[in-house]
Structure 1
Amino acid sequence: MSTQQDDSRVDRSFNRSMLFKLFVVAAMMFGFGFALVPMYRAICQITGINNLVQRDVGVREAKNTQVDASRTVSIELDANARGPLQFKPEQSSLDIHPGEVMTVMYQVTNEQSRTVKAQAIPSYAPKQATEYFKKIECFCFTQQTLAPNETKRMPVVFVVDPKLPKDVKTITLSYTFFELDAPKSVAKGT
């Protein structure tokens, strides 16, 4: 009988030890999960990946840029909306000189009787123009909250770098504005 008690104590001791080890592993996995977010952000910042909506930091110091008045670039403005939003630029195109700081306005309307949170994601064409199109201020840098039936005018302040290749005569700036955290019935389209 003493052997059974010894075996039972060994089993309990083993079980407690295993339970402790499992708690430690679970806590480490939980901590690692939280550590992934700042690690992901740091990697994205270093590599330049996934930075479509980040502010172009060096542009604010470039207030005295050289304007290249010898050439004109056409900027075409496009807007798309996903969800219960009406979204459009106030003008469809404009001609600018590289190096000239410009402001264009977009308008978004929440057509729902509920508050909507939304985010805009920019894209550029041709792709090679992306690195030369510098946004100083943009509504795409932050999420937008629109009250029921609210309309907002939102600016984009930008400059096209004079180093833009000479063969690029037109740049299309397109935004897709989409609802965040859409109700499941809206997200499914029912």
Structure 2
Amino acid sequence: MTRPDPAARADSILRSDNRRIFTKLVVITVLMFGFGYALVPIYRAVCNALGINVLSVAEITKFGSRQPVNGQVDATRTVTIEFDANARGPWEFKPAQRTLDVHPGELATVIYEFRNPQDRTMVAQAIPSYAPLQAGSHFNKLECFCFSEHTLKPGESRQWPVTFVVDNKLPRDVRTITLSYTFFEVGGKVPPAPDQAARTNVPAPAGAPS
């Protein structure tokens, strides 16, 4: 009776071990892929259960559209959003529309228009305010020009979107929200009106007190 070759036996054991390791790696890879694929519906299911709104990138960046947010729209009531604009300086600033009716939980967008009629470059920023005051905590802005400062060249006109969702936890007695922006120049002074500047540069008459 011949004894098995030790080298051949070791080679057979090595091949068997390699097959087992390869099988385990394949199984682990498949499980990881399946888990990663299942994360999105699991995440959305958890957010739905907790009442958290989930927006895709396409929904956020699609300005001008009004998309329902993850099925959390309260279609049983409508809230009127009034848009206001205040310019602290010699420039033009206004919303493209004055009012918009939305359902709580509904994604909506409004456009604000700005023009710098001056012959100089300016840097400006807007500060929002809300009425009634309690509505501010239920007004969720996803995109807003008020998030940063803006540089505008002489005569330049710009349009900026405000994309928002009114929280469906807004008290039911609040039927109208006023969103107001005050646009001011950063680090600058409001120049005097042209007639005032002209009077300042006119020489005083002879003999007049200085």
Matched residue, 2:163? 157
Contact 1:84–1:179, Cα closer than 8 Å, also in 2: no
**SS of the residue aligned with 2:104?**
coil
**SS of the residue aligned with 2:81?**
strand
Structure with bigger RCO (C-alpha 8 Å, 6+ apart): 1
**SS of the residue aligned with 2:135?**
helix
Contact 2:95–2:112, Cα closer than 8 Å, also in 1: yes
Select 1:167's aligned residue among 160, 164, 173. Answer: 173
Correspondence list, 1:1-190, <5 A: 63-183=69-189, 185=191
Q: Does the C-alpha gap of structure 1 residues 97 and 184 become closer, same or farther in structure 2, counting only changes over 3 Å?
A: closer
- After TM superposition, the runs of 4+ consecutive aligned structure 1 residues lying more than 2 A away are 58-63, 183-186
Q: Which amino acid aligns with 2:103?
A: H
Within 2, Cα distance between the matches of 1:184 and 1:84? Answer: 7
Structure 1: 5+ residue stretches without partners: 1-57
Contact 1:89–1:107, Cα closer than 8 Å, also in 2: yes
Q: Does the C-alpha gap of structure 1 residues 184 and 134 become closer, same or farther in structure 2, counting only changes over 3 Å?
A: closer
TM-score, L = length of structure 2: 0.59
**SS of the residue aligned with 1:174?**
strand
Q: Which amino acid aligns with 1:167?
A: D
Q: Does the C-alpha gap of structure 1 residues 175 and 67 become closer, same or farther in structure 2, counting only changes over 3 Å?
A: same
Contact 1:77–1:92, Cα closer than 8 Å, also in 2: yes
Shift, 1:180, TM fit? 1.2
Within 1, Cα distance between the matches of 2:169 and 2:138? Answer: 7
Query: RMSD of aligned C-alpha atoms?
Result: 2.2
Q: Does the C-alpha gap of structure 1 residues 60 and 176 become closer, same or farther in structure 2, counting only changes over 3 Å?
A: farther
Structure 2: 5+ residue stretches without partners: 1-51, 57-68, 198-210
Contact 2:86–2:181, Cα closer than 8 Å, also in 1: yes
Contact 2:89–2:190, Cα closer than 8 Å, also in 1: no
TM-score, L = length of structure 1: 0.65
**SS of the residue aligned with 2:136?**
helix
Q: Which amino acid aligns with 1:101?
A: L
Cα-to-partner distance string for 1:49-106 (whole Å, 9 max, x where unaligned) = xxxxxxxxx8665851500000000000000001121100000001000000001000
Q: Does the C-alpha gap of structure 1 residues 123 and 60 become closer, same or farther in structure 2, counting only changes over 3 Å?
A: farther
Larger radius of gyration: 2
Contact 1:59–1:134, Cα closer than 8 Å, also in 2: no
Within 2, Cα distance between the matches of 1:93 and 1:84? Answer: 25
